[in-house]
């Protein structure tokens, strides 16, 4: 028997890290803000269409959002916020599907220049 371990199918492929920041707002008055949910759905759809590996995390706790280190001096009070590979790319409005696509493509290109994370 061989003790060689198989590598994961995404081994060596670039992984895009995406954070969707939003919380229950006074306008929506519900467990989920519909605007933040739409951004989440759109982002997942774009990732699927691009066929890329992505870690998508939804951050809903206002204190976590306020302390998020990737914001570096920027106060994200207007949600939703979209962070791609540690960089806030959009805040306070719902970006179009085309914009989300461009944000992710740009982050992948920037990651290749700087040596982004790979599995």
Q: What is the CATH number of the domain that holds 79?
A: 3.40.30.10
The reply to whether 75 belongs to the active site is no
Catalytic annotation present for 33: yes
Residue 4 lies in a domain: no
Task: Note whether residue 42 is domain-resident.
Answer: yes
Instruction: Catalytic residue, from 25, 33, 74, 75: name it.
Output: 33
Q: Which residue has the higher pLDDT, 69 or 105?
A: 105
Indicate whether 67 belongs to any domain: yes
- With left for phi above 0 and alpha for psi between -120 and 50, is residue 100 left, alpha or beta? alpha
Is the confidence at residue 86, as pLDDT, over 60? Answer: yes
Tell whether pTM > 0.85.
no
35 lies in some domain: yes
Domain count, the chain: 1
> Which tens digits make up the pLDDT trace of 3-24?
454 444 554 567 888 888 776 5
Domain presence at residue 5:
no
Tokens of 75: 């106060």
Residue at 9 is within a domain: no
From the candidates 28, 36, 74, 90, which is the catalytic residue?
Answer: 36
pLDDT of residue 118: 39
Assigned domain for 70 exists: yes
Interval 16-34 mean pLDDT? 65
Q: Is residue 85 part of a domain?
A: yes
Cα–Cα distances in Å, from 10 out to 28, 45, 81, 106?
A: 38, 19, 28, 21
Domain coverage including residue 64: 15-114
């Amino acid at each position: 028997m061989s003790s060689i371990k198989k590598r994961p199918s995404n081994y060596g492929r670039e992984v895009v890290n995406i954070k969707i920041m939003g919380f229950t707002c006074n306008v929506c008055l519900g467990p989920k803000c519909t605007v933040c949910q739409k951004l989440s759905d759109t982002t997942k759809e774009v990732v699927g269409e691009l066929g890329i590996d992505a870690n998508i995390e939804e951050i809903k706790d206002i204190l976590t959002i306020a302390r998020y280190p990737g914001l570096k001096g920027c106060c994200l009070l207007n949600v939703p916020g979209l962070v791609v590979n540690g960089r806030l790319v959009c805040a306070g409005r719902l970006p179009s599907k085309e914009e989300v696509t461009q944000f992710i493509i740009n982050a992948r290109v920037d990651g290749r220049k700087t040596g982004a994370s790979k599995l």
